[in-house]
Structures are given as structure tokens and as C-alpha cells.
Chain A
Amino acid sequence: MTNEEIKDLVLEIIEDIDDEADFDSLDPDQPLRDQLDLDSMDFLDIVMELRKRHQLQIPEEDYPNLATLNSCVMYLEPLLKDA
């Protein structure tokens, strides 16, 4: 997957979690939590969805890597390079 595709994947998953999420003014370097009002349960949903769609196993200690859109891409890029 390209970085753009990974970005779209993450946003698509977030949209599934919250269909009212507003991505227009999203700063990719700021925490998703604050901008989109995501809680820890929402992050768990992202992890589960990534496992379901791409068989990714993300250990709990890696969750902080999912904090911002760009950090998601950085973290997922090597894991999804063949996807």
C-alpha cells in the first residue's frame, strides 16, 4: 500500500466508527483523539478492524503509534507494504 492508501484506510475505518467524523480540518500531525473526539474504545476498534481487514496484530504497547494520522502511516507502512 502507498502512504496515501494507508491514510485512506485509516480514515475509512474511523468513518465506520463515527459516521459524523469531520476530516476537513484534520491536521495529520495532531492527535486524532482530540480532533475527532476519539476515546480509547475507538482506538481499540481501529486495531480490531486492521486485524480483520489485513490480519495485522498490533500489540498493546504499540497503540501510541496510532496517535496521529501521520504516525499511523509511519507505523503501518512497513506492515502493509505488500498489502
Chain B
Amino acid sequence: MPVFLKDLQESYDVIIIGSGLGGLTTANRLAYCGHKVLLLEHHHRLGGLATWFKRRGHIFDISLHGFPYGMVKTCKKYWNKEIMQSIVQLPNIVFNNPQFNLKTTFNKEDFTHLLQTRFGVEASTIKKFFDTVTSMNFYDDQSMTTRELFEEFFPCRSDIHRLLMEPITYANGSTLDDPAITYGIVFSNFMNKGVYTFSGGTDKLIGMMEKELEKNGVTICTKAKVNKILIEKGKVCGVSVDGTTIKATAVVSNSGITNTIFNLTESHHYSDEFLTKAKAVRVNNSSCQVYMGIKKGETIEDVGDLLFTSTADEFDSEELLDLHTKSKTFSIYYPKTRPGHDRYTIVASMNSRYSDWAELTKEQYLAEKESLIDRSIKDLEKYIPGVTEKIDWVEAATPKTFNTYTLHTRGTSFGTKFEGLDVSRSIHKQVGGLFHVGSVGIIMSGWLGAINYGVIVSNDVDSYLRA
């Protein structure tokens, strides 16, 4: 059970600010290593973007659309076997756009087959492409862009570029102009075995993680927003929450990297060179979502688990971000999502720019939200005819919603572009005992990226605490 702020101890070995999957994992690992850990979260529940909400008997998941198979090993090693055992495959991934319509398991075998039979690519080219992407490492040369990678293997094939890129753009906001290695790493993670989900839903996962944290002795305090990280003589010494000071030898911030540097700490603690780098970090795009609940007792046919849909002629990262984009994904949650909870829900997700929504007047904002909902239901009708009549709850989230709940700069859904990784990795060299964890650098984002990054950062923190 979370502890009240007034009941906290005066000092801890390490304080984790934020309970996204990165923060949760760092807390768990460090407690497992024997450190006294305090986890502070501004929201009333844990999970960060790995979250859900309930309306009229519906449970809506925010970021449970799919993750790579690597989660199985990661959850087994860094959480527990029960969590691992709830991971199941989403076998039906659907693409529907003016260039092609197809259904796939989204793994290497099926993609090889599709590229050969539907797109007419030579087997040897496909093999070379897969060999290239699977051998990519984050420390490799970053000068090649994903666009160049695609042009090299599939010149002038905008249809193939779409097949390969569209899902990854939704998964982490990356575009054809980002480094090819970020694409290669994430794409090959998925191609390994396909797309997976957590049976029981996000609420079950976070509940299980909370139990594990308590078992390992982590003190959890929710509704606790950290206002400042306290630094003395170049080293962290604690945090300040609503005027209360809590001491610690190390502080790990799961607040975004830009927030951590520019809002939670003061600039004079960093070198000019570091600040220049930090200022150049571009945050990723935000999202819009429309949550649709199907009336109790009604059913819908199986039309696939995850639908990448678009009426735009070709794939274009800018088009995906447009306020009125013609592209969206539908995640269809059948009763199998939460065994025992006999309900269907549908979530439409779109990439989105914070500035497009932040600049609207209140009336414009509400009108755009209505129009977003209307467009989503209309598009969904194409895949599930008659669904409009079956929906008994609908609401939408915008970049402003994501900003409110996570405090992330411009409501970023997927952390930062590639350059954020180096800044995140080196912050502890600027301020002793200050670490950052959470979505950065494209490759360290998503559920798997955030958890694995939590483990990597835990190693640095453990090393610092034992030095």
C-alpha cells in the first residue's frame, strides 16, 4: 500500500521520481540489490503511460497495443515468472490503405513471404535486408537514415516503405529521417517473433508489479510531485516535495530528460557543453486517442487485433502527425484481453503534435475533439459495420491530456529523438548521484525499451551507491 508523504522516513539510499515502466523497474532492481528505495509518483496510480481508466464497466488501456517478444525474457528476469506467463501473442495484424490490404503475424517468416509473393521482391534482397537490420547496434554509425536504408534495398517502392515504416512510426514516433539504426533495432525486435500483449490488461500488470515492489521492500508514495532535486557541492542530496525535504544518496528521475534538466534542477549545475547538448534534444511527438466501449451483451466479429489503417495515398510521417490525419491504428480488445471480463473495447490511436492542440481556444479545442471522435467512429465503421450503434461510451485524449497526466514536455509519447540517449546516459557525470531513466533516444522507448533501460540505469546507480 502506498505510504503518505508525512509518514516517510527522513532519508533513503535512492529516490526514484516517477513510476513509468522505467522508474518501476529501476526501483525494483535497486531494492533487489539491497538498497533502501523510495518511489515518488505525482499521479494517484503507478505506471505512467502504462495505464488504464474505467468508465461504465469498460476498462480502457492507453499503451497496450503491442510489444516485442523480448518482453518475455525481460519480465522473467527483472520482474517475475507470473508476469512473464501472462504475455500472449496478438496474431492478427492488419494493414489497410490505398496501396495494399493484408493480414500478417508481423514476424520475419511472414514478412519474407509477403515481400516475396505480394510485393515481388527477390528472396536474396529480403535476406540481405533482414541481415542488415538485425545486426544493427546502437553504437554503430548513425549517419544513414531509415529513408536511405529503404532506398538501398527497395528503391522507389513507397508501398514497401509504408509496410516497413508505418507500424514503427506508431510504435515510437520515428520517421524516415531518423537514424537507420533506431529503426533496425526496434523493427528486428518485433520481427523476431511478432507482436505480444499482456493478458489481463495494464491494470493487472501494474498490480502485479506493485506487489513485487512491496515484496522487495520499496516504499511507494503516490500523489507526490517532486518540485526540485536538491544538489549540494556537485552531488545530489535529496528531493523536495511540496515543501518537504527527503534526503537520498542517489536520485533517479523518470520524469522526461528535458523536464529533469530544465525544471527539476538548475542550469548552473551543468557544464556549458552539456547544456548545449541538452538544449538540442528534440522531444518526440505526442498522441491522440479515441476510446470506444461496446455495450454489455453486444459482440463484434474478429476483424484482427491491431489495424494499421490509412486513406492517404502514400506513407508520410508528416501526414501521420496532421491534426486531421487520414491515418490511425485501431486496437481491438476482445474478451480474451481480460479473461473473465466479458467486454469489447476499441482504441483508435494517432500520432499528434502538441502545438496543434495547445494553440486552440477552448471552443476550438472541444470542437476538434468532437471531430476527432466522429472521424474515428466513421473510419471504424469500414471495418466493423454497424459498430456505431453498439458503442455506449466514447471519449478522446489529446496531447494536452498526455501532458497533464505525465507532465512530459509537450506531452511527448515516446521520449526524445536519438540525441536524448547520450544526454540521459551522461547526466550522472555532471551531477554526482543524479541519473535519468525513461523513454529516450527512440530505442529506449516503448514498454520493452523502458524496462530494459531501467535495468541498465540500475547498474549505474548500484555501482555509484557501492563505490
Interface, chain A (partner B; CB < 8 A): 17, 41, 44-45, 47-48, 51-52, 55, 57
Contacts and interface: CB of A to CB of B under 8 A. Distances in A.
Contact of A55 (B74, B455, B466): B466
A8 to B, nearest CB: 21
Interface stretch (B104-112, B296-304, B457-465): B457-465
Contact of B74 (A41, A47, A48): A41
B455 A44 contact: yes
A48 B33 contact: yes
B463 A57 contact: yes
25 contacts: A17-B77, A41-B74, A41-B77, A41-B452, A41-B456, A44-B455, A44-B456, A44-B459, A45-B77, A45-B455, A47-B459, A48-B29, A48-B33, A48-B458, A48-B459, A48-B462, A51-B462, A51-B463, A51-B466, A52-B33, A52-B34, A52-B462, A55-B466, A57-B463, A57-B466
A17 B219 CA distance: 26
B467 interface: yes
A4 to B, nearest CB: 27
Interface residues of B, number: 14
Contacts, number: 27
Nearest to A19: B76
Contacts of A17: 77
Contacts of B456: 41, 44
A45 B32 CA distance: 12
Contacts of A57: 463, 466-467
B463 A41 contact: no
A41 B459 contact: no
Nearest to B456: A44
Interface centre among A48, A51, A57 (most CB of B within 10 A): A48
Contacts of B462: 48, 51-52
A46 B73 CA distance: 15
Contacts of B452: 41
B429 to A, nearest CB: 13
A78 B140 CA distance: 33
Interface string B71-99: 00010010000000000000000000000
A51 B459 CA distance: 9
A70 B226 CA distance: 48
A41 B455 contact: yes
Interface centre among A41, A45, A55 (most CB of B within 10 A): A41
A52 B459 CA distance: 10
Interface centre among B29, B34, B459, B467 (most CB of A within 10 A): B459
A24 B360 CA distance: 66
A4 B385 CA distance: 68
Contacts of B33: 48, 52
A55 B33 CA distance: 11
B428 to A, nearest CB: 13
Interface centre among B74, B452, B458, B463 (most CB of A within 10 A): B463
A42 to B, nearest CB: 8
A51 to B, nearest CB: 6
Nearest to B81: A19
A57 to B, nearest CB: 6
A52 B35 CA distance: 11
A44 B33 CA distance: 14
A22 to B, nearest CB: 16
A48 B467 CA distance: 13
Given A41-B456, A44-B455, 5 more contacts: A41-B74, A45-B455, A51-B466, A52-B33, A52-B462
Nearest to B463: A57
Contacts of B463: 51, 57
Contacts of A55: 466
A52 to B, nearest CB: 6
Interface in B424-459: 452, 455-456, 458-459
B190 to A, nearest CB: 16
A48 B32 CA distance: 11
Smallest CB-CB A-B distances: 10 pairs: A48-B459, A44-B459, A52-B33, A57-B463, A41-B452, A51-B466, A48-B462, A51-B462, A17-B77, A41-B455
